[in-house]
Structure 1
Amino acid sequence: MTVRTLPHLGAAALFTSLLASPAWAGMGNTASTYGLLPIDVGTAQGMSLFNTQASALYYNPAYLTQDPRGELTVGLLHGEHDLRVTSNGNPSGGAPAVIRDGDKANVADTQQQVIALKTDLTDMLKGDHPVYFAIIAGVEKYGEEMLAFGSQNSQEGQFMRYGRQPLFLNLGGGAELANGIALGASAHVSLSSEATLIASADLAGETQYEELTVTAKPIIRPVLSMNLEWDKIFCGKEDCGIWSGLETAFAFRGHTDARTSVESNLTIPGTVIDPGITVLIDTIDSYQPDILSAGLLYHFSDNFRASVSVEQQNWKDLEERLEGDTVKDQANAKFQDVMVPRIGAEWTLNENIMLFGGVAYQESPLESIQTPDVNYFDNDRLIVGIGSALIINNPPILAYPMRLDFGYQYQQLQDRDFELTSTRPGVTNPYESVSTEGDVHVFSGSLTLKF
């Protein structure tokens, strides 16, 4: 028994040294699970396709053209997860593996710091056609945690999309192609890490003659978008009747994930000779599917605008990726593509105060109620958000306006039943039936300096 567990201990130690974080990450990311800046959080992403701030870089980079001013934004996001699991007993007739009654799941809070920069590159280029560039980055634990990663089996079950979020990095820009037609593109960057450990160990698990190699490379996925202002297309600067104030946006966001591959090779002199026992681990986390978005915005007046949008999230592609995941391949998880409707509105009370809100509904992409060993939970979600912005036009010292934003989002997880199963010998499946539900509270604030 000791000989067989030594390589696993070595691999576990390597994971710890590589990732330096508990297994609290989830199969999601900040931008798609909650939103990046307060207006995204506070409108349940209902206005994200038509947000003039720097987070447009991720949702609709073509919309960077809507505000010619540069801006620097620093934001904080805090997500509290009150996720509950209630045992319904053992369907096989025995005692449940875990006794619980509405226990709160051990899911870490999301605490992300976001920094974004947007600027006009016209002065750097020949010609006078405006080209806008932006970059946005997010780091967990308010800047203290560069990489959150977790991939594990769970006897008690685990929620699929909540927990620590990995490093977020997106950069790109937008430009107006013709009157009323703007195009944008950006790149979302994630990391793929590879590590090799070669060592000799004694029966106590102490290693010597170690050789450790660690590499990480960026994986780049595209974000492409188009924005159409119909009054400018048909009528230029003249009044355009029903077309006045009508906008349409289309966006594509490529799938992303964080991946880690580990190869551990250990020998035990006199017991396990060269080439030793090899343990191979290749696993993904923080997955976001390909997302196709379309939205319609209408300016009802100079002070009020509202939008309706829909997203198609292609989660079914995750099935094939998990087949090659050495941690989760036995789960045989089945997913479905989902449509996510969103509604958002923004009301400018005066030159200093703005209010916004929104609502969305997301069906769970996880079809399976049994995912052996991994035991994933995921629920349909009703998402509601509200928020406000304070615009200070003449701040002390600064030459340009300053903006303070706050957004709150509430996610209600609809009740759903799952069956816990295992591939371990001697286990009668399912060994426990559970009901899952919960609430998520997200708070977001940001400071934006215009220039």
Structure 2
Amino acid sequence: MTVSFSGRVAAVVGGVLVQSVALASMGNIGTTYGVLPSDIASAQALSLFNDQVSATYYNPAALAKDPRGELTAGLMHAEHELRASSLGGADAPIRNGDVLQDSPSQHMLLGMKTDLTSLTQYNHPIYFGLMLGVEKYGEEMLAFDSSTSQQGQYFEYGRQPLFLNLGGATQLWRGIDVGATARITLHAAADLSATTDLAGNTQYEELDVSAKPSIRPIFGINMDWGETFCGEGDDCWFNGLETAFSYRGYSNTKTEVNANAVIPGVIPNPGLMLNINTLDSYQPNILAGGVQYQSGRWRTGVTIEWQEWSALEEEFENDTIKDQTVSGQPGQLTFQDVIIPRIGTQFRLNENFSFTGGVAYSESPLESNASVDVNYLDTDKWIIGLGVTAEYKKTRILAFPVRFDLAYQHQILEDRTFDIYDTQSAVYPQPSEQVEASGEVNVISGSITLKF
């Protein structure tokens, strides 16, 4: 068998990652865009109070707000136009236009919610929810690419890995619901041993590939002030007022590859060792709190998120591709914690139709304006969402109520200047180029939900 050793390692990595794809992302659909159309339309401002199955990600306690079960199927398409305009430099490469990344993210979404009370000997309701998202409309289970870049690469956008949440909720007391979710990501590992000659002919190969789930918690609590403090049928100030709080534990997708090659007469046992340990699709610890007020046909909500991105620096210390811990090296990769305000509103036109809108401002967690060889780019952004919901309680075909959601979201990336460092450049340790990062993202999402 004639295969170069580098080719063998590439094959191992491809096998571990299921399908290796360029331009993978450090984000995930829930944080970057929104899970279901209702979340995308409100710029996630109303997501803490959303009783659909996306509540397993934002606030699992909201699963208990609606006692009905549901089945949800949807599609999401995010189109990126991320630019890096050259401002010149001593060793600037020739760029083919300003667009650095335009690979779309295309998710198939499946969700289910049901009441598990009938499985127990108690009458107290317990709700279970499952949310699944698969990239490339269901064909790509694990989108992953970890690499250095000489031209720059965007930090948050690109293809997204498998999205899987399992959650449950119940009512703790009148008007107070609590819930918890297990967010599941995959950690993959591969070990390769081979004997080869200088021509790349291998023998005595041994390959071991494994993947195991990593489970991280999400907790939520929701309080309906009117139901808690007002009597049934009473008209009091608290009616329509809700507050919610959630904690999302950090999660990541990572891969470890260990390989060694023995070349008789050149490299004896234990051979040439190759160790790669890298991560992708990192989600930080997130604390979110929100308030919602509903009056007549209107409901309006405000959510404030705190995201702990500074902890990513420690994660990168063990990353053999993106490690930036070399002392004295210019352009260190650093992150900052950010606070994201979101505001959204919904207007119910009639029994069947309602309209949702939202806006958010997200400061970039990337604090540094340079990162040697990695060359991450990221900017502050405005997020604007619009959506429409059509719900029919009776149809001629279906036995249960049906709901259709359609949403559009536009993200505007503000201009930001970065220095590009390339250790292979003739001018290093000076920056090889200076670029201005900017761009826009357009997201379209639709779903159908059956209530039962």
Q: What TM-score do the two structures reach when normalised by structure 1?
A: 0.95
Distance 2:244 2:131 in 1: 21
SS at match of 1:105: strand
Aligned-residue offset at 1:16? 2.1
Aligned-residue offset at 1:9? 4.6
1:15 aligns with 13
1:335 aligns with 335
The answer to whether 1:437 aligns with 2:438 is yes
Alignment of 1:351-370 (within 5 A): 351-370=351-370
Aligned-residue offset at 1:244? 1.2
2:47 aligns with 48
The answer to whether 1:291 aligns with 2:286 is yes
Distance 1:22 1:227 in 2: 39
SS at match of 2:234: coil
Distance 1:254 1:328 in 2: 23
Q: Is the 8 A contact 2:5 2:196 kept in 1?
A: no
Which AA in structure 2 matches 1:442? V
Moved more, 407-416 or 394-403: 394-403
Structure 1 pair 242–101 and aligned structure 2 pair: CA distance change class (3 A) = farther
Structure 1 pair 374–8 and aligned structure 2 pair: CA distance change class (3 A) = farther
The answer to whether 1:308 aligns with 2:306 is no
2:31 aligns with 32
2:328 aligns with none
SS at match of 1:39: helix
SS at match of 2:10: helix
1:3 aligns with none
Identity over aligned residues, as a percent? 51
Distance 2:215 2:300 in 1: 33
Moved more, 183-192 or 342-351: 342-351
The answer to whether 1:67 aligns with 2:62 is no
Aligned-residue offset at 1:237? 1.5
Q: Is the 8 A contact 1:134 1:172 kept in 2?
A: yes
Q: Is the 8 A contact 1:304 1:348 kept in 2?
A: yes
Structure 2 alignment gaps of length 5 or more: 326-331
Distance 1:325 1:340 in 2: 28
SS at match of 1:441: strand
Structure 1 pair 402–396 and aligned structure 2 pair: CA distance change class (3 A) = same
2:387 aligns with 387
| Among 160, 163, 181, the residue aligned to 2:155 | 160
Deviations 1:401-451 (Å, cap 9, x if unpaired)? Answer: 111110100000000000001233744220100001000000000011111
Alignment of 1:62-211 (within 5 A): 62-90=61-89, 94-96=90-92, 98-100=93-95, 102-211=97-206
Which AA in structure 1 matches 2:10? A
Question: Number of matched residues?
Answer: 441
Which AA in structure 2 matches 1:287? Y
Distance 2:7 2:118 in 1: 57
1:57 aligns with 56
| Among 232, 247, 262, the residue aligned to 1:252 | 247
2:225 aligns with 230
Deviations 1:33-68 (Å, cap 9, x if unpaired)? Answer: 001100001111111111121111110111111111
Alignment of 1:395-410 (within 5 A): 395-410=395-410
SS at match of 1:438: strand
Which AA in structure 2 matches 1:86? S
Distance 1:154 1:401 in 2: 50
Which AA in structure 1 matches 2:73? V
Which AA in structure 2 matches 1:220? I
Deviations 1:254-298 (Å, cap 9, x if unpaired)? Answer: 111101000011111222121110010000000010000000000
SS at match of 1:241: coil
Which AA in structure 2 matches 1:284? L
Distance 1:274 1:164 in 2: 40
Q: What TM-score do the two structures reach when normalised by structure 2?
A: 0.95
Deviations 1:149-180 (Å, cap 9, x if unpaired)? Answer: 11000001100001110001000111010001
Deviations 1:201-229 (Å, cap 9, x if unpaired)? Answer: 22233322211101111100000011011
Aligned-residue offset at 1:107? 4.2
Q: Is the 8 A contact 1:107 1:162 kept in 2?
A: no
Distance 1:41 1:233 in 2: 30
Moved more, 267-276 or 241-250: 267-276
Which AA in structure 2 matches 1:300? S
Q: Is the 8 A contact 2:105 2:136 kept in 1?
A: yes
Distance 1:206 1:117 in 2: 51
Distance 1:446 1:393 in 2: 17
Aligned-residue offset at 1:8? 4.8
Structure 1 alignment gaps of length 5 or more: 1-5
Distance 2:360 2:250 in 1: 21
2:421 aligns with 421
| Among 271, 277, 282, the residue aligned to 1:282 | 277
Distance 2:56 2:250 in 1: 16
Q: Is the 8 A contact 1:175 1:184 kept in 2?
A: yes
Runs of 4+ in 1 over 6 A off after TM superposition: none
Alignment of 1:317-332 (within 5 A): 317-330=311-324, 332=332
Distance 1:391 1:68 in 2: 17
